[in-house]
Amino acid sequence: MAQFCLRPSLVVFLSIASFWLIQLQIQNRRGVEFKWAVQNRSNSVQLGINEGLEAVRGIKRLFLASDDVNRQEFKIFTQSILTHTPYIHALEWIPRVMSSQRIAYEEQAQDGFYRLSF
C-alpha cells in the first residue's frame, strides 16, 4: 500500500520539476533573444552615428582643401551626402560674414534668396 501512494506523488513531483525546467529554458531563450535584439539595434544606431560623423568630417575636409567655398560648391558637395544618408535631413551653408561685408554680401545673395538679411 505504501508503494501505491509513492507513485502518484512521484508523478506529481516529476511533472512540477519538468514544468519548472521548461519554464527556465523558455526564460533563458527569451533573454538570449532580447540581448541579440538590443545588440542589433545598438549596432545599427552606432553605424548611423558613424556615418553622420564621417559626413561632417568630409565637409570639414572640403573647407580645409579650399580657400573659399561658395554656396554652389557646398550644395554640390553635400547633395550626395543628403542622398545617401536618409537620416540627415539638411546641411546648411552659413558663411561667416564680417560686419563690414554685410551689405555687399546681402546684395550678392539676393539672387537665390528672397529678402535675405541678417
pLDDT per residue of the chain (118 residues) written in tens, 0 to 9? 555 556 888 888 999 999 999 999 999 999 999 999 999 999 999 999 999 999 999 999 999 999 888 888 999 999 999 999 888 999 998 888 888 888 887 777 666 655 556 5
The pLDDT value recorded for residue 2 is 52
The pLDDT value recorded for residue 113 is 59
Burial group, residue 9, by CB count within 10 angstroms (0-12, 13-18, 19+) = exposed
